[in-house]
A and B are shown apart, each in its own frame.
Chain A
Amino acid sequence: MSTLLEMSGVSVSFDGFKAINNLSFQIGEPELRAIIGPNGAGKTTFMDIITGKTKPDEGRVLWGDKGTSLLGRSESQIARAGIGRKFQKPTVFEAQTVRENIAMALKNSRGPFDVLFYRKTAEGAARIEAVAKEVGLTEELPRPAGELSHGKKQWLEIGMLLAQDPRLLLVDEPAAGMTPAEREHTTDLLKRMAETRAVVVVEHDMEFVRRLNCKVTVLHEGSVLAEGSLDHVTANQDVIDVYLGR
């Protein structure tokens, strides 16, 4: 397992409020990692920094085998480098069909002229079918994404990540709004995806995290409070005080 992403000494403040405070973090490839932490701990902001949405005030974010910096790259460049993201609130293109949503995410050249003259291929269609099958949306392919239930939108977004075929997946609260059966399916899928790539899952639900059965990082007030197995971190007194004890 080699290091895929390394953050060190990263800080971000919004109007003087330190949302991320001297945060250091590492993930290898392949690896599955869960991030937990109370509301406002900075979990989403952490993802914003990696994906280029928020520029850190200080610190380094290094990516890939050569350890090139991600800072200063645009969101789209970072996405093309192989980092996919699922948002906390499901964001799919509701006016478009499930098929169109997946097709847009499909790993292909992203330049305007490549896209303009893009020809639908049998291979692409097969890939869309495969992704849809994986996330259980085969029936829904021709339906507008706006008609899907909340849980299915979450699935679609995960499917779009699959189609993107990234090396690092950042998944923000995937289980929100899902039924217990759907949650179980989600954990299986995330675990499977983590066999070949790095997957970071932010989740509040302890049961969900336990089922992921992976290393856990606890964030609090913008920095790492504890890291290790779930049993290890839940036994930590600091973690109990700020998170579990409430």
Chain B
Amino acid sequence: MKPGFLSQNPSVLWFLAALGLFTLGVTVLAEATGTGALSTSFVKTLGKTLCLCLIAIAMDVVWGYCGILSLGHFAFFGIGGYAIGMWLMYARTEAIVSESMAAAVIPPTDQEVIDAIGTQIFGVVGSSEFPVIWAFSDSLFLQLLMVVLIPGLLALVFGWLAFRSRVTGVYLSILTQAMTLALSLYLFQNDSGLRGNNGLSGLQNIPGFEDTPQSMISIAFFWASALALGLGYLLFAFVTSGKMGSVIRGIRDDEARVRFLGYHVESYKLFVFTLTAVIAGIAGALYYPQAGIINPAEIAPIASIYLAVWVAIGGRGRLYGAVIGAAFVSLLSSWFTGGGAPNVNLGVYTIQWTDWWLVLLGLSFVAVTLFAPKGIGGLFDAIAVRRTPERVGDYGPDKGALRQEEGTE
């Protein structure tokens, strides 16, 4: 980190302080470590929300700062989840199987144990063989490596192909969406080796911690998520500050001009795309043990679209905006869809929020895009009276979106 980095970016300190306070507050109110005012399931919801905030800042860097509207980052998130889920499932099934087989008169051979684990895990898809992709599932270390390697490599190859052929704007978004769709359709198949639409389950049970209550596990994951978000925030604040930030924002606003200054734009995009994909994978690996289950529906393109909506509502181009957007919208969403919001009886029609929440979200998205392009984060400008540059130029390299119009509100 550069000397003076924090002093030049005071908002980073503010954010870290707020995150620290929040973590402290939740710890004091949690069941395992405090008064118990917050239920274990709510602590899990909060922990998951922090993971969503982490992927949201990654999305903000790739989209809000670099101008690449990726509709594929939730795929990287899901891959991270699957990678850790494979180990969780394998190790836990192994523990159960060995325990039940230990009671047998003849001690089982290693092969018998592995076959029994296979039957347990893949029985639901009518198989008992371990697919090749599970080769490393018995090693926590290797699966953790997969959490970063697979999203990173996928992003690197995909990005290299796409950026090299100068695919930009809407076409690039469609391409990332196609990648996401292909991945989720593949995972839906029973012979994908990842249990088809059943996905991986029981991920909340951490092998080796069978006797630890979920209340304790939930707060531990909450801390880990908070730490990851804090570190991720620092990392991205570092990347988007200084000269790198200048070049990245330059690419968003006029990539041809950046090229004529001698910067190899494709390398920069590839760097940003891959780095954010890796962080998305890490966020996913922390999220799914708290969710307990992952299935291919989580990777569907709609998830990545939600991600873009969160960032837009929170205010793109500022990291704390993405955090606010993700936390606000995802918590609100679980409140509405979880039946928390009272139904509105209009006499002739009763608005049930479980059905109407998406409509409300869609309308808010349109409203924000049209009337408050800076999102919720824009409110901070009003408070801080900090002068932000009024943008006159076009927002990005393509003419597909109404960015210019958005910006001159």
* CB < 8 Å neighbour of A110 from B249, B256, B262, B391: B262
B268 CB within 8 Å of chain A: yes
- The docked-state distance in angstroms from the alpha carbon of A96 to that of B245 is 10
Q: Please judge, given known A-B contacts A103-B246, A118-B243, whether A94 and B261 are in contact too, CB under 8 Å.
A: no
Contact B244 A118 (CB under 8 A): yes
Chain B residues whose CB sits within 8 angstroms of the CB of A160 once the complex forms = 261
Q: Please judge, given known A-B contacts A76-B259, A79-B259, whether A96 and B250 are in contact too, CB under 8 Å.
A: yes
Chain B residues whose CB sits within 8 angstroms of the CB of A145 once the complex forms = 389
Chain A residues whose CB sits within 8 angstroms of the CB of B132 once the complex forms = none
Contact A97 B239 (CB under 8 A): no
Chain A residues whose CB sits within 8 angstroms of the CB of B265 once the complex forms = 76
Chain B residues whose CB sits within 8 angstroms of the CB of A115 once the complex forms = 243-244, 247, 263
**Residues of chain A from 81 to 136 with CB closer than 8 A to chain B in the complex:** 84-85, 87, 91, 93-97, 100, 103-105, 110-112, 115-116, 118-120
- The docked-state distance in angstroms from the alpha carbon of A84 to that of B242 is 23
- The docked-state distance in angstroms from the alpha carbon of A144 to that of B268 is 23
Chain A residues whose CB sits within 8 angstroms of the CB of B298 once the complex forms = none
Which residue on chain B has the smallest CB distance to residue A170? B260
- The docked-state distance in angstroms from the alpha carbon of A144 to that of B243 is 16
Contact A104 B250 (CB under 8 A): yes
Contact B260 A93 (CB under 8 A): no
- The docked-state distance in angstroms from the alpha carbon of A245 to that of B239 is 57
Which residue on chain B has the smallest CB distance to residue A157? B257
Chain B residues whose CB sits within 8 angstroms of the CB of A147 once the complex forms = 389-390
B392 CB within 8 Å of chain A: yes
B253 CB within 8 Å of chain A: yes
Contact B262 A95 (CB under 8 A): no
Chain A residues whose CB sits within 8 angstroms of the CB of B271 once the complex forms = 112, 116
Contact B267 A112 (CB under 8 A): yes
Q: Please judge, given known A-B contacts A112-B271, A115-B244, whether A146 and B389 are in contact too, CB under 8 Å.
A: yes
Which residue on chain B has the smallest CB distance to residue A97? B389
Chain B residues whose CB sits within 8 angstroms of the CB of A75 once the complex forms = 256, 259-260
Which residue on chain B has the smallest CB distance to residue A107? B262
Chain B residues whose CB sits within 8 angstroms of the CB of A104 once the complex forms = 243, 246-247, 250, 258, 261
A164 CB within 8 Å of chain B: yes
- The docked-state distance in angstroms from the alpha carbon of A116 to that of B272 is 11
B399 CB within 8 Å of chain A: no
Q: Please judge, given known A-B contacts A95-B389, A146-B390, whether A80 and B242 are in contact too, CB under 8 Å.
A: no
Min CB distance B105 to A, Å, is 62
A53 CB within 8 Å of chain B: yes
Contact B393 A146 (CB under 8 A): yes
A26 CB within 8 Å of chain B: no
- The docked-state distance in angstroms from the alpha carbon of A147 to that of B389 is 8
Chain A residues whose CB sits within 8 angstroms of the CB of B253 once the complex forms = 93-95
Contact B254 A93 (CB under 8 A): yes
Contact B267 A93 (CB under 8 A): no
- The docked-state distance in angstroms from the alpha carbon of A164 to that of B259 is 13
Contact B243 A95 (CB under 8 A): no
Contact B261 A79 (CB under 8 A): yes
Contact A116 B391 (CB under 8 A): no
Which residue on chain B has the smallest CB distance to residue A75? B259
B2 CB within 8 Å of chain A: yes
Contact A110 B244 (CB under 8 A): no
| Per-residue interface assignment for chain A, residues 216 to 237, with 1 indicating a CB less than 8 Å from any chain B CB and 0 otherwise | 0000000000000000000000
- The docked-state distance in angstroms from the alpha carbon of A42 to that of B263 is 26
| Per-residue interface assignment for chain B, residues 316 to 360, with 1 indicating a CB less than 8 Å from any chain A CB and 0 otherwise | 000000000000000000000000000000000000000000000
A74 CB within 8 Å of chain B: yes
Min CB distance A17 to B, Å, is 22
Min CB distance B86 to A, Å, is 32
Contact A93 B257 (CB under 8 A): yes
| Per-residue interface assignment for chain A, residues 164 to 194, with 1 indicating a CB less than 8 Å from any chain B CB and 0 otherwise | 1000000000000000000000000000000
Contact A94 B246 (CB under 8 A): no
**Residues of chain B from 372 to 388 with CB closer than 8 A to chain A in the complex:** none
Looking at A77, A96, A97, the one whose CB has the most chain B CB atoms below 10 A away is A96
Contact A144 B390 (CB under 8 A): yes
- The docked-state distance in angstroms from the alpha carbon of A103 to that of B241 is 13
A21 CB within 8 Å of chain B: no
Chain B residues whose CB sits within 8 angstroms of the CB of A80 once the complex forms = 262
* CB < 8 Å neighbour of A95 from B249, B257, B260, B267: B249
Min CB distance A141 to B, Å, is 14
Looking at B243, B247, B262, B271, the one whose CB has the most chain A CB atoms below 10 A away is B262
- The docked-state distance in angstroms from the alpha carbon of A147 to that of B250 is 17
Which residue on chain A has the smallest CB distance to residue B271? A112
Contact B391 A146 (CB under 8 A): yes
Min CB distance A171 to B, Å, is 13
- The docked-state distance in angstroms from the alpha carbon of A119 to that of B5 is 11
A51 CB within 8 Å of chain B: yes
Chain B residues whose CB sits within 8 angstroms of the CB of A74 once the complex forms = 259, 264
Chain A residues whose CB sits within 8 angstroms of the CB of B247 once the complex forms = 104, 115
| Per-residue interface assignment for chain A, residues 24 to 60, with 1 indicating a CB less than 8 Å from any chain B CB and 0 otherwise | 0000000000000000000000000001010000000
Chain B residues whose CB sits within 8 angstroms of the CB of A118 once the complex forms = 242-244
Chain B residues whose CB sits within 8 angstroms of the CB of A53 once the complex forms = 256, 260
| Per-residue interface assignment for chain B, residues 252 to 290, with 1 indicating a CB less than 8 Å from any chain A CB and 0 otherwise | 011011111111110110010000000000000000000
Chain B residues whose CB sits within 8 angstroms of the CB of A51 once the complex forms = 260
Which residue on chain A has the smallest CB distance to residue B4? A120
Contact B391 A76 (CB under 8 A): no
Which residue on chain A has the smallest CB distance to residue B257? A91
Q: Would you list 27 pairs from A and B whose C-beta atoms are within 8 A, ordered by A residue?
A: A53-B260, A75-B256, A75-B259, A75-B260, A76-B262, A79-B260, A85-B260, A91-B254, A94-B392, A94-B393, A96-B246, A96-B249, A96-B389, A103-B243, A110-B262, A110-B264, A111-B264, A116-B239, A118-B242, A118-B243, A120-B242, A144-B389, A146-B389, A146-B392, A146-B393, A147-B390, A164-B261
Q: List the 7 shortest-distance A-B pairs measured between CB atoms, nearest first.
A: A144-B389, A79-B262, A94-B393, A75-B259, A146-B392, A80-B262, A76-B264
